[in-house]
């Protein structure tokens, strides 16, 4: 049965005077509020929060949840997002009061377990990256990018090379890369891709110079291809005095197979909600820790955790850039990544990446005869098809994406990377069984047939989703961003 | 590996379908010198049972507030959280979805964010809210940058009474874009921004003035005096507010704030050693298109039915790249959902009750502490749920002794340059019995 959306807003369920939750009676002597807070600070009207019973709240949000596609509901091959299974045991682990009910200003001796967790995870991430020291403070991937760039900038400034303000970014990069550069005042210099989808090495040679702060690279890149010239690229950038930044969005392909530090990267961020399976939560909370080389470690944000014998303590790195957010980052999120690493161990992490790459290649190989594959090479954990072949039937990639939901699949990432026309970016992940991949392949082939025979079926899709296709332009033209009180 | 479903037979079959023989054939694009030899230096694998045992052992090395009675605040608060909040947020359909890029199959996330945005607008009185930020401190930093972009100015006025960690975060974000900071000094008597020194500040160059309400010491700032200065000089008023306080306090919009931010930890979130919670960000209709982060808007589907969608995306990094209003992408959606459920189940009256009980209980503790010889109020301005006490004691040592007796004392402010001060916080979760026991224990330790 398809769940149809027709759910009122929680405010529209409100009945004046109804209550959902009661506090214990106030047990201290009351002082008139006017004696505590001057009149001019007090509000005259309460915020219009809903007045509903607990059951109404439960039903409302349970109904809303049923309108959502999640990894628990079905296949979610959203490229570059690594929508793998999120182990439920992790939710139990981070609910332990010893982790969830501790205050960040507690004395260090009362939070030794938390500090030990932070210390261990930092070490493990450093081992996986092939680098030296980590900071777990960044709250998401883009936040990690920002932090990593701040560290690079601090390093150059410290060496009297503050003029290095150009960051080279490939034309296939995630939008966060150039946006993060702008946040630290760096000028973005775009390097084109070559015919095999990697960085154009000759073009790169011409772009580096005395003002080069570094290069940001995703490897495998957003086409799902491993850059074969990585060692050469690293040498070019390092010889020019720049540093290499590794966007870890695609690290699910390389665990135990390549350590970014070994290939010349100086800073790595990991998206723990992707590679290390802390759930995505409908758009966060994530965690975007960075790992850096020995030379950059003194500039990390702090505090970080140091180990003295069997005691753990908080320390500020010597030339720390400061803080990128309050306290220690998304602790209860990265605690799940720690659990994920321990569950897998060294061999298991390698098997994760192997299976992710195998699944992606299997699907790619079964679809490349009906969709164009612009870069026909063995891929890593994801691949990018072009839906341009559907255009002759009046069908676009967007229509294919919408039609997939009729079959119970989430769409791939579409229209990204920008260098592929009508891009369809598919990332199956390692936790999908072969039977699901086969069903997906079958449905993709069927939809390609429908495009020829009954294009309307696609252009008017979805048909079985909770709502029909949305008028997205209208939302932007006349923004309605909140419920209006009657 | 328990989460990897492929059997050896399936792997062979899949490889054969591509004309390959072994897994290593898939990695032939990686240059040999880049290939990692050996095993990663990480422990494991652990079975589920071993993993649980390990985590329980780590958790047991921490002392938590289910056993300790806490009077710690300073940005993270021990509030009551109704059981249903965690239960509903834990539903897999919410937990395992991603950013709602395909709105037709993510209406649940989208509608809940729309409700969240509405609640933030109701609390703050502002016209528009985004879908959340990482935390309050980074939200404030982004607000300052937005003010700079909106006014084309490169200077920000910050109060010395702003939470020290927030000051650090704002300083780092602003320095990165070469924006200067000028501080409003502390009035040692009131504990708020020193209004006598306002005329010294470069109002004419300022993109914005920031007010934290209540401030780091839990005190109410005189917003009106600052508002008239900054607006008369063409800058914006940015307010960083505690959401629980908005159950009682005048909404920032009535102080003519242009941007309002805050930390949402106190709205139904675990303390979690400081994360994850979320930051909120609200502004006026005029400034909507300069706002960072995701925003959900209302629209209709092809049959004219109401539905919700991510909108105004031309501000964002995936469209605008280096010209985006911010680089923020994933934010704290699930935490915003928890806050939405929290505010929904508390409702209009319940939310007011939380604020009222915080105020009354904090005031009660303060009065009881002031009866102890050697302790006095640190400042004169009115306070909400938090207050500083002055006393010439070794507060770190006193806290250690309190800990032995089951209490998590306040935050000694020595590390922030106030050696005799200690900051106490009291929420609705504390009982009179706990407060009385704390006071008599403290009295015993001091005398």
- Location of structure tokens 């069908």: A395
Inspect the interface and report whether the beta carbons of A349 and B40 lie closer than 8 Å: yes
pLDDT mean over A473-481: 95
- Chain A contacts in chain B segment 372-411 (CB below 8 A): 382, 384, 396, 399-400, 403, 408, 411
State how far the alpha carbon of B13 is from the alpha carbons of A362, A434, B361, in Å: 10, 10, 68
Best of A17, A116, A269, A282 to disrupt the B interface (most B CBs within 10 Å) is A282
Instruction: State how beta strands B128-129 and B69-70 pair.
Output: unpaired
pLDDT mean over A400-407: 98
Inspect the interface and report whether the beta carbons of A330 and B56 lie closer than 8 Å: no
| Burial letters B239-262, b for 16+ CB under 10 A, else e | bbbbbbbbbbbbbbbebbbbbbbb
pLDDT tens string A111-165? 999 999 999 999 999 999 999 999 999 999 999 999 999 999 999 999 999 999 9
What average pLDDT does the structure give for chain A? 97
Kindly report the nearest CA distance between residue B201 and chain A, in angstroms: 25
Inspect the interface and report whether the beta carbons of A431 and B5 lie closer than 8 Å: yes
Inspect the interface and report whether the beta carbons of A354 and B322 lie closer than 8 Å: no
Q: Is the pTM of this model over 0.95?
A: yes
Alpha-carbon distance of A361 to A379, in angstroms, equals 6
Whether CATH 3.50.50.60 fits B69-81+348-446: no
Can you give the pLDDT at residue A3? Answer: 60
Whether CATH 3.40.50.150 fits B83-341: no
- What percent of chain A has a predicted confidence (pLDDT) above 90? 98
- What percent of chain A has a predicted confidence (pLDDT) above 70? 99
Q: Among B76, B84, B333, select the one facing A104 at the smallest CB separation.
A: B76
Alpha-carbon distance of B215 to B51, in angstroms, equals 42
Alpha-carbon distance of A52 to B323, in angstroms, equals 43
Within this chain, domains B69-81+348-446 and B83-341 share the same CATH topology: no
Give the residue among B261, B220, B222 at the shortest CA–CA distance from B387.
Answer: B220
Point out the residues of chain B with pLDDT beneath 50.
none
* Chain B residues with beta carbon closer than 8 angstroms to that of A68: 93-94, 97, 105-109
B286 touches chain A (CB under 8 A): no
**Nearest C-alpha in B relative to A9:** B115
Kindly report the nearest CA distance between residue A73 and chain B, in angstroms: 7
pLDDT tens string B184-214? 999 999 999 999 999 999 999 999 999 999 9
Sign of CA dihedral B114, B116, B118, B120: negative
The two three-digit tokens of residue A438, written as one number: 């086969």
Which residues, in sequence order, are bridge partners of residue A315? A304
Residue A1 has pLDDT above 50, yes or no: no
Cα A363 to the center of its chain, rounded Å: 23
Residue A485 has pLDDT above 90, yes or no: no
Inspect the interface and report whether the beta carbons of B311 and A377 lie closer than 8 Å: no
* Chain B residues with beta carbon closer than 8 angstroms to that of A336: none
- The number of beta carbons lying within 10 Å of the beta carbon of residue B24 is 12
- DSSP character at residue A443: H
- Residue A301: pLDDT band with limits 50, 70, 90: very high
* Chain B residues with beta carbon closer than 8 angstroms to that of A482: 114, 117-118, 121, 127-129
| Burial letters A122-143, b for 16+ CB under 10 A, else e | bbbbbbbbbbbbbbbbbbbbbb
Inspect the interface and report whether the beta carbons of A181 and B403 lie closer than 8 Å: no
B93 touches chain A (CB under 8 A): yes
- Location of structure tokens 């010239």: A229
So what CATH class is A349-473?
Answer: alpha beta
**Nearest C-alpha in A relative to B63:** A110
Any idea which architecture A90-344 has in CATH?
3-Layer(aba) Sandwich (3.40)
pLDDT tens string A302-352? 999 999 999 999 999 999 999 999 999 999 999 999 999 999 999 999 999
Domain ranges of chain A: 10-65, 90-344, 349-473
pLDDT mean over A450-466: 97
Cα dihedral B340/B344/B349/B355 (nearest 10): -20
Domain ranges of chain B: 69-81+348-446, 83-341
Kindly report the nearest CA distance between residue A397 and chain B, in angstroms: 13
Inspect the interface and report whether the beta carbons of A100 and B117 lie closer than 8 Å: no
Alpha-carbon distance of A211 to A202, in angstroms, equals 18
Give the residue among B341, B340, B326, B258 at the shortest CA–CA distance from B294.
Answer: B326
Start-end of H helices in B125-237: 136-151, 164-176, 223-232
Q: Tell me the residue ranges of DSSP E strands in A309-446.
A: 311-315, 383-386, 413-414, 423-426
Give the residue among B24, B10, B34 at the shortest CA–CA distance from A354.
Answer: B24
Can you give the pLDDT at residue B362? Answer: 98
Can you give the pLDDT at residue B322? Answer: 87
Q: Among A331, A416, A474, select the one facing B274 at the smallest CB separation.
A: A331
Inspect the interface and report whether the beta carbons of A101 and B270 lie closer than 8 Å: yes
Interface confidence (ipTM) of the complex: 0.98
* Chain B residues with beta carbon closer than 8 angstroms to that of A284: 132, 276, 330-335
State how far the alpha carbon of A421 is from the alpha carbons of A125, A177, A322, A360, B198, in Å: 36, 21, 42, 20, 57
- The number of beta carbons lying within 10 Å of the beta carbon of residue A153 is 24
A-B contacts at Cβ under 8 angstroms: 682
Q: How many CA atoms lie within 13 A of A115 on its CB side?
A: 24
- Residue A5: pLDDT band with limits 50, 70, 90: low
* Chain B residues with beta carbon closer than 8 angstroms to that of A255: 40
Best of B12, B26, B250, B318 to disrupt the A interface (most A CBs within 10 Å) is B26
* Chain A residues with beta carbon closer than 8 angstroms to that of B66: 97, 101
Backbone phi and psi for residue A256, each to the nearest 5 degrees, phi listed first: 75, 0
Inspect the interface and report whether the beta carbons of A284 and B114 lie closer than 8 Å: no
Kindly report the nearest CA distance between residue A453 and chain B, in angstroms: 23
B152 touches chain A (CB under 8 A): no
Can you give the pLDDT at residue A467? Answer: 96
**Nearest C-alpha in A relative to B118:** A482
What element of type H or E holds A170? strand A166-170
Kindly report the nearest CA distance between residue B123 and chain A, in angstroms: 6
Sheet of A383-386, strand order: A383-386, A423-426, A413-414
Alpha-carbon distance of B334 to B321, in angstroms, equals 25
**Nearest C-alpha in A relative to B170:** A324
The two three-digit tokens of residue A103, written as one number: 């205050």
């Amino acid at each position: 049965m398809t769940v149809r959306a027709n759910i009122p807003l929680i405010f529209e369920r409100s009945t004046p005077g109804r209550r959902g939750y009661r506090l214990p009676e106030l047990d201290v002597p009351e002082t008139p509020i006017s004696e505590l807070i001057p009149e001019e600070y007090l509000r005259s009207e309460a915020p219009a929060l809903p007045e509903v019973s607990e059951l109404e709240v439960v039903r409302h949000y349970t109904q809303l949840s049923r309108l959502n596609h999640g990894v628990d509901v079905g296949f979610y091959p959203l490229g570059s997002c690594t929508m793998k299974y999120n182990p439920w045991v992790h939710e139990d682990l981070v609910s332990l009061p010893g982790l969830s009910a501790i205050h960040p200003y507690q004395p260090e001796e009362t939070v030794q377990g938390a500090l030990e967790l932070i210390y261990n995870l930092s070490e493990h991430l450093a081992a996986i990256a092939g680098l030296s020291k980590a900071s777990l403070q960044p709250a998401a991937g883009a936040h990690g990018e920002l932090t990593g760039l701040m560290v690079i900038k601090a390093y150059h400034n410290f060496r009297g090379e503050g003029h290095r303000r150009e960051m080279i970014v490939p034309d296939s990069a995630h939008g966060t890369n150039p946006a993060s550069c702008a946040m630290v005042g760096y000028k973005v210099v775009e390097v084109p891709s070559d015919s095999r989808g990697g960085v154009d090495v000759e073009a790169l040679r011409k772009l580096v110079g005395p003002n080069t702060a570094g290069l940001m690279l995703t490897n495998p890149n957003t086409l799902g291809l491993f850059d074969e010239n990585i060692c050469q690229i690293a040498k070019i950038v390092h010889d020019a005095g720049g540093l290499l930044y590794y966007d870890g969005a695609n690290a699910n392909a390389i665990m135990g197979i390549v350590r970014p530090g070994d290939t010349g990267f100086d800073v790595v961020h990991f998206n723990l909600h992707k590679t290390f399976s802390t759930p995505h939560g409908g758009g966060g909370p994530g965690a975007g820790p960075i790992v850096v080389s020995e030379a950059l470690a003194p500039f990390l944000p702090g505090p970080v955790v140091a180990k003295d014998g069997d005691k753990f303590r908080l320390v500020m790195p010597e030339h720390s850039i400061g803080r990128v957010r309050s306290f220690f980052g998304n602790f209860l999120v990265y605690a799940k990544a720690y659990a994920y690493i321990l569950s897998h161990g060294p061999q298991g992490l390698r098997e994760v990446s192997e299976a992710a790459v195998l699944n992606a290649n299997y699907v790619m190989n079964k679809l490349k005869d009906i969709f164009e594959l612009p870069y026909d090479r063995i891929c890593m954990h994801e691949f990018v098809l072009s839906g341009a072949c559907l255009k002759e039937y009046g069908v676009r990639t967007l229509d294919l994406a919408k039609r997939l939901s009729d079959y119970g699949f989430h769409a791939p990432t579409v229209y990204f990377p920008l260098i592929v026309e009508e891009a369809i970016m598919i990332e199956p992940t390692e936790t999908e069984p072969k039977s699901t991949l086969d069903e997906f392949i079958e449905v993709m082939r069927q939809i390609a047939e429908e495009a020829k025979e009954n294009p309307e079926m696609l252009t008017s899709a979805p048909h079985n989703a909770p709502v029909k296709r949305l008028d997205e332009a209208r939302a932007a033209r006349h923004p309605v961003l909140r419920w209006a009180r009657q | 590996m328990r989460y990897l479903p492929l059997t050896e037979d399936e792997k062979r079959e899949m490889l054969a379908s591509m004309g390959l023989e072994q897994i290593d054939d898939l990695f032939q694009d990686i240059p040999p010198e880049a290939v990692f030899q050996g095993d990663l230096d990480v422990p494991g694998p652990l079975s589920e049972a071993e993993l649980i045992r390990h985590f329980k052992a780590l958790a047991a090395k921490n002392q938590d507030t289910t056993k300790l009675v806490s009077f710690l605040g300073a940005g993270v608060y021990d509030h009551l959280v109704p059981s249903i909040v965690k239960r509903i947020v834990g539903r897999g359909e919410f937990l395992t979805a991603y950013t709602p890029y395909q709105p037709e199959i993510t209406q649940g996330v989208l509608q809940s964010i729309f409700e969240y945005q509405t609640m933030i607008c109701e609390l703050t009185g502002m016209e528009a809210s985004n879908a959340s930020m990482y935390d309050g401190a980074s939200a404030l930093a982004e607000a300052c940058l937005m003010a700079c972009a909106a006014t084309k100015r490169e200077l920000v006025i910050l109060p010395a009474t702003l939470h020290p960690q927030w000051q650090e975060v704002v300083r780092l974000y602003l320095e990165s874009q070469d924006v200067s900071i000028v501080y409003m000094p502390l009035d040692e008597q009131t504990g708020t921004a020193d209004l006598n020194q306002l005329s010294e500040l470069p109002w004419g160059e300022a993109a914005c003035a920031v007010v934290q309400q209540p401030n780091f010491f839990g005190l109410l700032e005189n917003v009106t005096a600052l508002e008239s200065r900054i607006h008369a000089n063409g800058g914006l008023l940015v307010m960083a507010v505690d959401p629980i306080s908005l159950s009682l306090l005048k909404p920032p919009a009535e102080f003519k704030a242009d941007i309002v931010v805050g930390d949402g930890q106190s709205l139904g979130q675990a303390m979690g050693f400081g994360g994850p919670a979320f930051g909120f960000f609200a502004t006026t209709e005029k400034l909507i298109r300069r706002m960072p982060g995701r925003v959900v808007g209302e629209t209709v589907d092809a049959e004219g039915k109401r539905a919700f969608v991510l909108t105004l995306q031309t501000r964002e990094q995936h469209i605008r790249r280096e010209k985006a209003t911010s680089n923020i992408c994933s934010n704290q959606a699930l935490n915003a959902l928890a806050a939405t459920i929290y505010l929904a189940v508390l409702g209009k009256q319940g939310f007011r009750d939380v604020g009222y009980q915080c105020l009354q209980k904090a005031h009660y503790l303060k009065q009881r502490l002031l009866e102890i010889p050697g302790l006095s109020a640190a400042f004169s301005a009115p306070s909400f749920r938090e207050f500083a006490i002055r006393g010439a004691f070794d507060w770190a040592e006193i806290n250690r002794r309190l800990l032995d007796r089951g209490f998590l004392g306040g935050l000694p402010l020595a590390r922030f340059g106030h050696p005799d001060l200690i900051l106490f916080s009291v929420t609705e979760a504390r009982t009179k019995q706990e407060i009385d026991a704390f006071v008599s224990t403290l009295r015993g330790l001091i005398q």
